[in-house]
Amino acid sequence: MRIQDVPDGDLAKRGTGGDREAFGELVARYAAAARRVAHGVLGDPDDADDAAQDGFLLAWRHLGRYDPARPFGPWLMRIVANAATDRRRRRRVRQAEPLSPAAAAPDDSPADVTDRRAFYSALRDALATLPERQRKAVVLFDVEGYSHREIGEVLGVPEGTVRSDVFHARRALRSHLDAWKDWKGKNG
């Protein structure tokens, strides 16, 4: 069986025994999600990468505490989200934030790229105004696809609280998205 086909739990078991290749596969599987969750918490991509790395290192050191009978993603995301929160407390403020490379589609005109980047920047700013738990909840739910129950485990709150957080976050972010769509409809 190729390592790409090995389930998370089996990889984690192998990682517990010191198998770096197995853990590396887990890192590869969850790198993008961990970076996004950390970015959602911190708002800065460099800080987010540092926090996500911290999270993976902590996961590696404490892999023996993971219960293979449960999904690996929520366990890891809890560590990453906590690492991001910890770094948020300690970090210095950075003023300049590089634009996301994901903001441009290959066939966009320069004007489209600029518009899209401006929108994503506004969306990140809007996300940054939300309470931290709402940010985590909406990113984990709408971006990463975790269930309310799993997010509740990640955040250590009841499922109903997660639903409420997602609701409020969506309502705030949706207003930006809808405004941008209206603007694009009139100007695009």
Partner 1 sequence: MNDLNAFDHAPDSELGSALRAALSAADDDTFVRDVMARLDQPVTSWDVLGTWVRPGLAAAVVLTAMAGFWLGRAVHPATQPVPVEEALTVTAGNGTMTALISAESPPAIDVLFQSTNDDH
Residue 13 or 163 having the CB closest to partner 1? 163
Count of residues that bind partner 1 according to CB under 8 A: 45
In one-letter notation, the amino acid at residue 172 is A
Output the CA–CA distances (angstroms, integers) from residue 48 to 72, 125, 126, 138, in the order listed. Answer: 20, 15, 17, 17
Only one residue has tokens 């290749």, namely 21
Sole window of 6-14, 33-41, 75-83, 150-158 interacting with partner 1 (rule: CB under 8 A): 33-41
Site for partner 1 in 77-116 (CB under 8 A): 100-103, 116
- Rounded to an integer, what distance in angstroms lies between the CA atom of residue 28 and that of residue 96? 28
Only one residue has tokens 């902590």, namely 58
Out of 85, 124, 132, 161, the residue judged to bind partner 1 by CB under 8 A = 124
Nearest residue to 156 via CA among 38, 74, 39: 74
Nearest residue to 42 via CA among 107, 108, 102, 86: 86
Q: Work out how close the CB of 156 gets to partner 1 at its nearest, in angstroms, rounded to a whole number.
A: 19
- What would the x/- binding string for partner 1 be over residues 137 to 176, using CB under 8 A? -xx-xxx-x--x--------------x---x--xx-xx--
Out of 11, 27, 77, 154, the residue judged to bind partner 1 by CB under 8 A = 27
**Residues 140 and 40: beta-carbon distance below 8 Å:** no
DSSP assigned state of 156: T
Out of 6, 13, 16, 31, the residue judged to bind partner 1 by CB under 8 A = 31
Question: Residue 32 class from Cβ within 10 Å (0-12 exposed, 13-18 middle, 19+ buried)?
Answer: exposed
Out of 3, 10, 60, 113, the residue judged to bind partner 1 by CB under 8 A = 60
In one-letter notation, the amino acid at residue 51 is A
Sole window of 31-39, 71-79, 106-114, 149-157 interacting with partner 1 (rule: CB under 8 A): 31-39
**Binding residues for partner 1, per CB under 8 A?**
20, 23-24, 27-28, 31-32, 35-36, 39-40, 45, 48-49, 52-53, 56-57, 60, 100-103, 116, 119-121, 123-124, 127, 138-139, 141-143, 145, 148, 163, 167, 170-171, 173-174, 177-178
